[in-house]
Amino acid sequence: MRTRPLKVALLGCGVVGSEVARIMTTHADDLAARIGAPVELAGVAVRRPSKVREGIDPALVTTDATALVKRGDIDVVVEVIGGIEPARALITTAFEHGASVVSANKALLAQDGAALHAAAEQHGRDLYYEAAVAGAIPLIRPLRESLAGDKVNRVLGIVNGTTNFILDKMDTTGAGYQEALDEATALGYAEADPTADVEGFDAAAKAAILAGIAFHTRVRLDDVYREGMTEVTAADFASAKEMGCTIKLLAICERAADGESVTARVHPAMIPLTHPLASVRGAYNAVFVESDASGQLMFYGPGAGGSPTASAVLGDLVAVCRNRLSGATGPGESAYAALPVSGMGDVVTRYHISLDVADKPGVLAQVATVFAEHGVSIDTVRQQGKDGEASLVVVTHRASDAALGGTVEALRKLDTVRGVASIMRVEGE
């Protein structure tokens, strides 16, 4: 074993960063044995240096992150500060000064992953980011290494624990959205401002990363269709149960049927109770991968939190340090396929549409005619009504989003249709 330690600079010492530092200290001997050399925490960049950080030598703490990553003796920079800047500048500076990088920064990687990979390649350094997508769940490495010889066709998953906790509570207890959100906040699953989670921004960034790796194509955050789950109601869950389904906020990345393009999207969807993702409870994450040779694979576990995310960071740290010792680098960006990323209008799936209609003869015939005129085939229809008002629930066969959009627009123009109560996609079949 080499006795000279590999030096690590830690950017950020919050929930995740403090756990990374703790594990590096408490598991130092095991890490050294696995890597082939000791690892040493050489500096910790923070915004508030006066805060007491248990187990961290105050002499290592600095507010000058730029100076830390410019040190010529740093082997690996671990970035867990999040956000776009200064993280982007710090990572590129680290490459320029000879360090490899381990990051958990999903937003930055989804927006500028290609440029960061190019910078890493230019300087002959590693960029690893297992913790950016699904916390402790090994997902990026299986996609880009274990399945490197296979053709991945679809990645379908729950990649945000906060939204899954909220939807699970609504499903199992009958709670409304706000009530479930309040409980998630009280338990620490939701931030004071939950917008990034409940509006799908967090999941969309993860979908962009997953799609890029799975399909060997550059997919940016702007390419991902995003729809939040704040409008999901108890009535939607009641309708889902009548269909033998539940509702999840899903990240879906898939190849087109002809294999010539890909799509990436995040939105609430009904999934059958028989699907493995339907049983994912609480704040857990799970990702379902479908490929030609391997068939169907599922990855499940805690997708957030200090210890789980730190576990993924340390796994990358071990891999990067091993590469450092051998003088090699691991897999970089694979974007050779360069497939076009299609818009949401090209996505084909099933739909559950709830309409408020007049309770009188001929309404169903009018509605069915509109669906037929737009080439959308109806699977089932259920109608209930009294006192001159009725609800009409239509479940379609597979149709494109564009065709469904034209259908709904035409339905709104019917005098007998009072309004469109809800539209929900049906996935996982």
Going by C-alpha positions, the residue among 18, 21, 53, 58 that lies closest to residue 40 is 21
Q: Are 179 and 106 contacting, i.e. CB atoms less than 8 angstroms apart?
A: no
The upper half-sphere exposure of residue 298, i.e. CA atoms within 13 Å in the direction of its Cβ, equals 11
Q: Which pairing describes strands 295-302 and 284-291: parallel, antiparallel, or unpaired?
A: antiparallel
Confirm if 426 and 394 have CB atoms less than 8 A apart.
no
User: Rounded to whole angstroms, how far apart are CA atoms 428 and 10?
Assistant: 40
Pick from 95, 157, 187, 142: nearest CA to 285: 157
What is the rounded distance in angstroms from the CA atom of residue 399 to the CA atom of residue 35? Answer: 52
Rounded Cα gap, residues 342 and 225, in angstroms: 10
Residues catalogued as catalytic: 206
Asked if 224 and 200 count as a contact pair (C-beta separation under 8 A), the reply is no
Contact between 312 and 166 under an 8 Å Cβ cutoff? The reply is no
263 close to 238: Cβ distance less than 8 angstroms: no
Strand-pair partners of 5: none
* Dihedral over Cα of 213, 214, 217, 222: its sign: negative
CA pseudo-torsion sign 209, 210, 214, 215: negative
